[in-house]
A and B are shown apart, each in its own frame.
Chain A
Amino acid sequence: MTDDGVQGHPSAIGSGEPTAAPRRPPRTTRRSVLFVDAVANWTITIGGLGVILAVFGIMIFLTAVVWPLFSGGHAVTQSQAKLEGAASDVLTELVDEYHTIVVSVERNGEVAINHLATGRLIKSRKFEIGKRKIASFARTLNGENVAIGFDDGTLRLGRIKIETTILKTSAVPAGLNELGRDDRTDGDAVYSVIDDDQVRRIAVSVDLDEPQQIAPEGVALVALDYRLGGAVERPTRSFVSIDANGAVRLSRLETKRSLLGGTRAQTTLNSIDLPSLPKGTEVASILMTSLADQLYVVEDAGNVFRYDTRDPQKPILAERTQLTPDGVGVTALGFLAGEQSIVVGGADGSVNVFFRLQRPGADTADGFALVKTHELERQPDAIVALAASPRSKSFITADANGNVWVRHATTDQTLLKLAAPGGAVTAVAIAPREDGVVAIGKNEAVWNWRIEMPHPETTFSSIFGKVWYEGYPEPGYTWQSSSATDTFEPKLSLVPLVFGTIKAAFYSLLFAIPIALCAAIYTSEFVGPGVRNIIKPTMEMMASLPSVVLGFIAALVLAPIVESWIAAIVLAVVVLPLSVFLGAYLWQFVPQNIALRVGGGSKMLFIGAVLVVGVILALNLAPWFESALFGGDFKAWANGDVGSSRPFMALLTWPVSFAILLFADARGFLPFMPGGGSSRQRDNALVDLGRWLAFLAGSLGLAWLLATALLTLGIDARGAVVNTYVQRNTFVVGFAMGFAVIPIMYTIAEDALTAVPEHLRAASLACGATPWQTAISIIVPTALSGIFAAVMVGLGRAVGETMIVVMAAGNTPVIDWNIFSGLRALSANIAVELPEAVKDGSLYRMLFLAALALFVMTFVINTLAEMVRLKFRKRAAQL
C-alpha cells in the first residue's frame, strides 16, 4: 500500500535533465488516502477515548449502584383527604399492601373501610359484640389478628382479613361507582385497574370467635396483648390480660384439629395467674414477646414491670425499671418486628428502643435486664402514636404537633420527616411493604404518603461503625447477611470483611516479602546471566498459575498436611534459618581459592542441600519439639488447654533479642566478644562461628527473659496471634497466596535492581568493596523505591486475590489476629454471596460496595507504587 501513498514525488528535483516540458505530477494527495487517514484518525481517537472512558466507567458505575445505600428515604407523593364517617375513638388502623383502603377499628366495634385517596367510606363492617363494651384491645404486628377485652371479663379473638384478588377486566361487575382515577367500588370492595386486562379487587372481612371468660364475671379487662404461634394446623394463641382488680393472667388457647375430621376443632384454654403487681400500679398497657416468655407491664409514668415466664409453671416478676426519666410519661409504646425490642415514645418527644439482655449481676431476679440500646432523634412534641413495620426494624412515630417521622431502630436514623399540616395526629399506620404511611388526624383528615426507603438498614455508620443489633450484648461489627428465619435482620458491617482482607494480606506478605525480595537481590547481584535467564522465567511462571489451582491445592492438599504436621512446620520456621546460617559459617572454612570458584548459581546447590537437611531435621525432631514446647499436642496447646506459652514467646522474641545483641556488640557494649583479625582464614572462620554460636546462646537466654517479662506484663501471643486451630486457616492461605504474590514482587524488585546503572556497581567493586557490600550499600539503597513499589504491587494482588481465600480460608467473618483461624475476605464474600443476592436489594448493593472498596484500595495502592516506580526510573536514569 505504500506505493499508493504519495503521488507527489517531485521528480524534477536535482535532475538537471533538460526535458522540454516536464510533466508535472499532481501536487495533491489522493483523496482515498486522505479519507482513510481521517477515518483512522477518528476511529482511533474515539475508540481510544471510549476504552479509557469505559474503564473509568467501572468506578462510576459501581458508585452509582452503591449510592442508594446511603440515601435514607423520600416521599414520592402526598395526598390528603377528608375521612368520611371518621370516629373520634379509633383503636387501630390498617392499610392494605397497595394503599387502596384504610381500615379503622373503632371502640364501638365498628370497622370502617375508607378509600384512602378520596377518604370515601366504602363500607362499615362490625364486630358483633352485642351489648358488651370494649375495654381493651390488642393486635398482632401485621394487624390481621385482634383480641378484644370486654367490661364483663370476657375476651374474644377476631380477624380482619384484607383479601386481594386479581380479576380479568371482563369479570368485574357492572354498575360501579367511580372512586378517583383508577378505582371503583360496588359498595363492598374496591376495584383498581392494573392494566388493560387486569383488575385488582380488595375487600375486607371481619369475624369474631366465641367469648372466653378470662377475668371473674363483671371485672373488666383493662389491658391486653396477643400473639399467635404454633403451626398452621395447630395454632397456639397466647394472650396476657390485666383486669380491673389488677390481676395479671397469661392464657393460652390451643386448638387441636383432628387430622381426619378437618372442620371439627377442639379448643382448650389454659390460664395461669402471674405474681401480682405492687398496690397502686396504674396499668397503661401490657406487651408480650412472640414466644410469650416475657411480659412487660407499663405505667403511664414510665415504670415497667417485667415478668419472666420462660417457665410457665413458675412465672416471676423479674424486674422493675423506668423507661423514661422521672416526670416524663410514656405516651406511645410498641414492639418492633420480632417482638423483642420495645419502642418507647415519651411526653418529651423522646424515642428510645429497649431490649432485654443478659446482664450478670443486674439487680433482677433472672439475670437479665431491660437495656436502653438506641436513643433516636427527639421529636419536637410529645409522641402520640407509633406503628412498626412487620418486616424490618423500621417504624413511624407521630407527635402531637403533626410531625410523622419514619425511623429505623438499629441504625438510629431518621429516614424521613413528614408533616401533617394542620395538626394533631391520632393514629398512624405503615403499609405492609414499607412503601406508604397513613396518618389520621383529629379533624377527620387522613394523610397518605407514598414513600421510598429502599435500604433503611444501612447508613455509613452502620456499615463502618459498631451497631447494636437486637439480642447482642453490646454494639459490634457483624456480617451476617442471611438466615433461615423470617424475622432475621441482616447485619451488614463491612468491617469484618475488610479486616479479613487485611489479615490475609498481612500474613501472606509476612511470608512473601522476605522470600521475594531476598530472592530478587540474590538473582540480580550474585547470579550469573546464564543462570538468571533460567531462574527468572521459572519464577515468573509461578505468576501464571491460575489462582483456582492454588486454592484447590491449598485447601484440599495443603490444609490437611499442615494440620497433621503443624509442629514440624513451626519447627522448620526455626530450623531452616538456623541451618542456613550454620551452613554459611561452615562454608567460611572452605579455602578461598575453592570458594571463589563456586558462583552464585552453584552455591544454591549447597544451600539447597542444607535446606533439605533442615527439613529432615525438622521432621524428625518434631515430636520431641512438640512435647518439649507445646505440651505434646500443638493444637491443644494453641487452644490454651495444655502447656505454657513461655517457650513459644521466647521463640518469637529470639530474633529481636538477637538483633539487640548485635546492636550492643556494634556499639561496643560487649567488649568480651572476640573480634576477627587473624591472618589465617581458618582461624577467622572459627572465631566467626564461635561468635555466632555465642550470640545465639546469649540471645536465647535474653529471649527467655524477655518472654518472662512480657508474660508478667500480660502480653501473650497465645490467645492473640496463636489460638484455636481450624483446618482451613490463615497460615495455609498465607502460604498459598505466597505463590500468587511472590512472583510479582520478585519480578518488579529484580527489574528495579537490574535497572541500577552498571557503572555504580563497577565503581563500587573497583573501590574494593565486595559484591555483598556493593549489593547492600550501593544497589539496594538505589533501588529502594523500586523495591517499595514491588511490595505495594504485591500487597495489591494479595488484597484482591479471590479464589485462594474462597477455597482455603474457611470464610468465617470473625475479627481476630489468630493465624490458625479462618477469615472472610471482601473478595471471597463477593464471590460467595453475589450469585444469590437479589438484584438491587441491600445485600446486592453492599456487595457492590465491597467491590468498590476493593477497587479503591487496590487502585490507591497501585497508583502509589506506580508513582514511586516512575520516580525511581527517573532517578536511575539520571545516575
Chain B
Amino acid sequence: MDNVTTDQAAIRPIDAPSAVVRRSPATALSARGEPFMWALGAALTIGIVMVIGFLLFVFWNGLVTFIPKPVAVVTLRSGAMVAGEPTRPELYRLSPDAIKALPPAEAAKVAVNGGYGHRTLYRIGNYDLYNEDFRWVSDHDVDKIDYPEEMVFIERLEWGVFVGRIRSVKIGDRDLANPTPKDPALVAAHKEARARWQTIRRIERDLIGRVNHDLEVLRLDVRRAEIKHGPASTQAEKARLAEAAQIPSLKSEYDRLTGEAVRLNSIAQLNTVTLADVTGKEKVLPLSSLVRFYPANNLSFFDKVSIYLSRWGEFLSAEPREANTEGGVLPAIFGTVAMTLLMVLVVAPMGVITALYLREYAKQGRLVSIVRISVNNLAGVPSIVYGVFGLGFFAYGIGAHIDDLFFPERLPAPTFGTGGILWSALTLALLTVPVVIVATEEALSAVPRSMREGSLACGASKWQTIKNIVLPRAMPGIMTGIILAMARGAGEVAPLMLVGVVKLAPTLPFDGYFPFVHLERSFMHLGFHIYDVGFQSRNSEAGKPMVFVTTCLLIAVITFLNLAAIVIRSRLKRQFAGNQF
C-alpha cells in the first residue's frame, strides 16, 4: 500500500509546479496522505489510551476499595435471602437450559438482549457458614432489594468478613441485647478487647519469642562448641554447663508469660458477641476477634471517611492476615524498601566505578566498545536469567560455603545457603547495573573535554579532576541512572521468586536481636504480594481488592521514583546549563 502512495507522492509535486504556480489542492489530496496519517494518529491514540486507561483503572480500583459500601439484602423469587455488598455487575450469556427455566417475561427480555442476561456479584462474606465469599445473583431471580439499617458489616480476624446483624453482646457478666454498632458500651468494650488482644499478641510473639530465641542461641552455642572442639572437649562441656545454668530461669520466664497469656485469654473469652446472618443463623465470637464493624447502610459522610482512612491506616501499618488477603502490607513495604536500598548500596558504586573505568581509564578502542555494547545488552537480558544465576551462584554457591564455614551448627537447615534479602539485593544489583553504567557513561561523556583539560592543565591529578570536576558535573546523570535502577529493581518480581521472596515472612530482616541486621532472612515484597494474593490464595476474588490496593501502592512507589529521576535530572541540568566553557 505504502509503495503506491510514495510513488505518486514522489512524482507529483515535481511535475505539478510547472503546470500550476500556486499549490493546487487537487494534487495535494493524495500527497497529504490523510488516511495514513489518521492511521498513525490512531495508533498513538490507542497507545495513550492504553497507558492512561490502565493507570486510571488501577488507581480507581485501588482507591475505591476501602470505601464502605452499603449492604443489600436481596430477596430472591425462590424466597431465599442473600445479603452482601454488591461488587460488580456483569453481562453474561445464559445457557439454553437456563433460558428454558425462566418465566416467559424474563425469557423474552433475555431474547431481546441476544441471549445475554445481567447479574451482580455480591460479597456475602460469612465463609464459615456458607463456604463461599461471593455469589452471583442474576437479575431475573431477584424479587426485591432492601437496604435495612441494622445490617452490619464486620471485619474479623478469621474467616473473612461477616455480613449480618448483631444479636447480643456479652461483656463480662453484662448482656446487651440487639445493640446498635454505635452503642457506646459496645464500642468501649470492643476497644478494650482489642487492646487486650494486642497485649496477648505482644506476649506471645515478642516476649515468648525472645525466650525462645535465647534458648535457641544457647543450643546453637553448645552445638558449635561440639562441632568445633569435639563433643567431649572442655569447651563443649562449658557450653553445656552455661546452657544448663540458664535454662531454668528461661523456663520459668516462659511459664510466667504463658500463664499471663492464658489468663488474658480467659478474660477475652468472657466478652463475646453473637452475630446472626440474614437468615438468622447465629455465630458466637469473642469480641476481640472483630477488627472493625459498622452499620453499612447507616453511615454519615464523616463515618465513611473515618472508616476509609482507618482502613488505609491498617493497610499501611499492619501485618497481613487471612493468607494475605486482608490486613496490611507493612512487612511487604518494609521488605521492598529494605531490599531496594540494599540494592542501591551495591549497585551505585559498582555502576559508577565501572562507568568511570570504561570512560576515563580504559584505553578507548575496539575492545572497550565491544564491552560497552555488551553491557548495554545486558540491560535487555531477561530478569529471570539473573534470578537463576542468583540462586545457583549466590545462594547455592557462595551461601552454601558461608554456611559450611560460619554456621555449621545450624546445618542442615541453611542460613545463607538459601534465598534471602542479601542475595536478592545482589541479584537485582547485577540486573540493574547496566542501567547505572549506561546512564553514568552518558553523563560522563557529556562533561566537556575542555573542562577536564583545564583541570589537568592547572596541574590537578587525574583523580582530582574526576572527583572535583567530572563527577559533580555528571551527578545529575548518575543520580538519574541510580533512581531508574531503583525503579526497575522495585518492580521486579520474577528473579526474587527464585532468590528469597516468600509469601509470609515470620520475621523482618531487621529486628532487636543481635546482630540486628539479618541479611540471610527471606522477606516479603509488594510485587510478589500481588502475585501471591492474586494467584495463590483460596479465592482470587476475595483477594482482588487487596491486590488492587497493593498494585496502586507499588505503581505509586515506582512512579514516584521515576518522577524523582526526571525532576532531579531537569533541576541539576538547569544548574549546569550555560555553565560550560
Q: What is A's interface to B at a CB cutoff of 8 Å?
A: 1-2, 5-6, 8-9, 29, 33-34, 36-37, 40-41, 43-45, 47-49, 51-52, 54-56, 58, 61-62, 65, 514-519, 521-523, 526-527, 535, 537-539, 541-542, 544-549, 551-553, 555-557, 564, 576-577, 580-581, 583-585, 587-588, 592, 600, 603-604, 607-608, 610-611, 623, 658-659, 662-663, 665-666, 676-681, 684-685, 688, 692, 738-739, 742, 746, 767-770, 772-773, 776-777, 793, 796-797, 799-803, 806-807, 827, 830-831, 834-835, 839, 847-848, 851, 854-855, 858-859, 861-863, 866-867, 870
Known: A545-B491, A803-B493. 8 other contacts (CB 8 A): A2-B460, A5-B459, A33-B461, A51-B350, A61-B389, A539-B47, A546-B527, A855-B381
Residues of B near A738 (CB, < 8 A) are 50
The answer on a CB contact under 8 Å between B530 and A549 is yes
CB atoms of B464 and A1 under 8 A apart? yes
Q: How far is the CA of A681 from the CA of B25 in the complex (A)?
A: 6
Answer yes or no: B342 CB below 8 A from chain A CBs: no
Give chain A nearest CB distance to B465 CB in angstroms.
Answer: 9
With beta carbons under 8 angstroms apart, the residue of B16, B29, B551 that contacts A588 is: B29
Nearest B residue to A565 by beta-carbon distance?
B91
C-alpha gap A745/B545 in the complex (Å): 33
Tell whether, in the assembled complex, residue B9 and residue A770 are in contact, meaning their CB atoms are under 8 Å apart: yes
Task: Name A834's closest neighbour in chain B (CB-CB).
Answer: B498
CB pair A544–B558 under 8 Å, yes or no, is yes
Give the docked Cα–Cα distance between A304 and B562 (Å). Answer: 74
Question: Which of these binds chain A: B192-200, B351-359, B512-520?
Answer: B351-359
Residues of A within 8 A of B6 (CB): 773, 776-777
Residue B566 interfacial (CB < 8 Å): yes
- 3 tightest Cβ-Cβ pairs between the two chains A and B: A48-B357, A800-B382, A6-B459
Instruction: Assess the B494–A556 pair: CB atoms within 8 A.
Output: no
Residue of A nearest to B13 (CB): A768
B284 CB–A CB distance under 8 Å: no
Query: Are B17 and A587 in contact, with the CB atoms below 8 A?
Result: no
B564 at the interface (CB under 8 A from A): no
A546 near B493: Cβ-Cβ < 8 Å: yes
B562 and A796 contact, CB distance less than 8 A:
no
User: A604 and B41: CB pair below 8 A?
Assistant: yes
- Interface pair A54/B42, CB less than 8 Å apart: no
CB of B378, distance to nearest CB on chain A (Å)? 6
Which B residues touch A555, using CB under 8 A? 534-535
- CB of B354 within 8 A of CB of A2, answer no
Q: Which of B12-47 contact A (CB under 8 A)?
A: 13-14, 16-17, 23-47
Determine whether B555 belongs to the interface, using a CB cutoff of 8 Å to chain A. yes
Which of A8, A527, A688, A831 has a CB less than 8 Å from the CB of B494? A831
Q: Confirm or deny: B51 has a beta carbon within 8 angstroms of a beta carbon on chain A.
A: yes
CB of B531 within 8 A of CB of A548, answer yes
Question: Could you say which residues of chain B place their CB within 8 Å of the CB of A539?
Answer: 47-48, 51
A-B contact count (CB 8 A): 388
Interface check B430, CB cutoff 8 A: yes
B497 interface hit (Cβ, 8 Å) = yes
Closest-by-CB residue of B relative to A51 is B354
| Distance, CA A672 to CA B527, complexed state (A) | 62
User: B555's contact among A549, A604, A739, A859, by CB below 8 Å, is which?
Assistant: A549
CA distance A722 to B9 in the complex (A): 39
CB–CB B10/A37 < 8 A: no
Pairwise interchain contact A681-B29, C-beta atoms closer than 8 A: yes
Which A-chain residue is minimally distant from B41 (CB atoms)?
A607
A523 to chain B, nearest CB (A): 6
Cα A738 to Cα B377 with chains together (Å):
21
Asked if B466 is an interface residue, CB under 8 A from chain A, the answer is yes
- Report the minimal beta-carbon distance from A334 to chain B, rounded to whole angstroms: 38
Task: Report whether B371 and A52 are in contact in the complex, using a CB–CB cutoff of 8 Å.
Answer: yes
* A522 x B384 contact (CB < 8 A): no
* Interchain CB contact under 8 A, A2 and B389: no
Smallest CB gap from B35: residue in A: A584
Chain B 389-408 against A: per-residue CB contact (8 Å), 1 yes, 0 no? Answer: 10111001000000000000
A585 with B35: CB separation less than 8 A: yes
**Contact: A623 with B42, CB < 8 Å?**
no
CB A267 to nearest CB in B, in angstroms, measures 44
Kindly identify which residue among B17, B45, B358, B562 contacts A48, using a CB–CB cutoff of 8 Å: B358
Q: Are A604 and B458 in contact (CB under 8 A)?
A: no
User: Do A677 and B39 touch (CB < 8 A)?
Assistant: no
A40 to chain B, nearest CB (A): 4
Closest-CB distance, A530 to chain B (whole angstroms) = 15
B52 at the A interface (CB under 8 A): yes
With contact pairs A48-B353, A776-B6, A827-B384 given, residues A604 and B45 touching in the complex (Cβ less than 8 Å): yes
Complex interface: chain B residues within 8 A of A526 (CB) = 37, 40-41
Contact B558 A546 (CB under 8 A): yes
Evaluate whether A803 and B494 lie within 8 angstroms (CB atoms) in the complex, with A526-B40, A772-B33 already known. Answer: yes
Given the interface contacts A541-B559, A770-B32, does A29 sit within 8 Å of B461 by beta carbon? yes
Q: Most chain-B CB neighbours within 10 Å: which of A47, A772, A799, A831?
A: A772
Knowing A549-B555, A807-B534, A835-B497, say if A862 contacts B377 (CB, 8 Å).
Answer: yes
In Å, the complex CA distance between A37 and B465 comes to 10
CA distance A607 to B38 in the complex (A): 7
Q: Please, which residue of chain B has its CB at the minimum distance from the CB of A525?
A: B40
Contact of B5 among A518, A768, A776, A847 (CB under 8 A): A776
Chain A residues whose CB sits within 8 angstroms of the CB of B25 once the complex forms: 592, 679-681, 684
Shortest Cβ distance from B490 into A: residue:
A546
Known: A37-B464, A770-B28. A830 touches B388 (CB 8 A): yes
* Chain B nearest CB, measured from A397 CB (Å): 36
| B residues near A600, Cβ cutoff 8 Å | 37, 41
Q: Are A544 and B487 in contact (CB-based, < 8 A)?
A: yes
List 8 A-B residue pairs with CB atoms under 8 Å apart, sorted by A's residue number: A58-B386, A539-B51, A541-B562, A564-B93, A584-B35, A604-B45, A800-B385, A862-B376
Instruction: Give the distance in Å from the alpha carbon of A566 to the alpha carbon of B497 in the complex.
Output: 33
- B32 and A772 form a contact (CB under 8 A): yes
User: B69 interface residue, CB < 8 Å from A?
Assistant: no
Chain A residues whose C-beta falls within 8 Å of the C-beta of B58 in the assembled complex: 549, 553
B127 sits at the interface (CB 8 A):
no
How far apart are the CA atoms of A611 and B2 in the complex, in Å? Answer: 23
Q: Mark B484-502, 1 if CB is under 8 A from A, else 0.
A: 0001101111100110000
Chain B nearest Cβ from A744, distance in angstroms? 9
Q: Do B38 and A551 touch across chains, with their CB atoms under 8 A apart? A: no
Any chain A CB within 8 A of the CB of B576? no
Instruction: Decide yes or no whether B467 CB sits under 8 A from chain A.
Output: yes
CA distance A703 to B389 in the complex (A): 51
Report yes or no: A863 in contact with B377, Cβ–Cβ below 8 A: yes
Q: Tell me whether B92 is interfacial, beta carbon within 8 Å.
A: yes
User: CA A855 – CA B392 in complex, angstroms?
Assistant: 15
Are A549's CB and B551's CB within 8 A? yes
Whether B40 contacts A518 by the Cβ 8 Å rule is yes
With beta carbons under 8 angstroms apart, the residue of A9, A33, A608, A658 that contacts B49 is A608
- The chain B residue sitting closest to A535, CB to CB, is B48
Instruction: Using CB atoms, name the residue of chain A closest to B528.
Output: A548
Beta-carbon contact of B385 and A773 below 8 Å = no
Q: Is there contact, CB below 8 Å, between B555 and A546?
A: yes
Are A770 and B31 within 8 A (Cβ)?
Answer: yes
**B7 interface residue, CB < 8 Å from A?**
yes
Once the chains are docked, how many angstroms separate the CA of A490 from the CA of B287?
53
**Mask of B57-74 contacts with A, CB within 8 angstroms, 1/0:** 110000000000000000
Contact B493 A799 (CB under 8 A): no
Distance A310 CA – B491 CA, assembled complex (angstroms): 57
Known: A546-B554, A676-B30, A803-B493. A662 touches B356 (CB 8 A): no
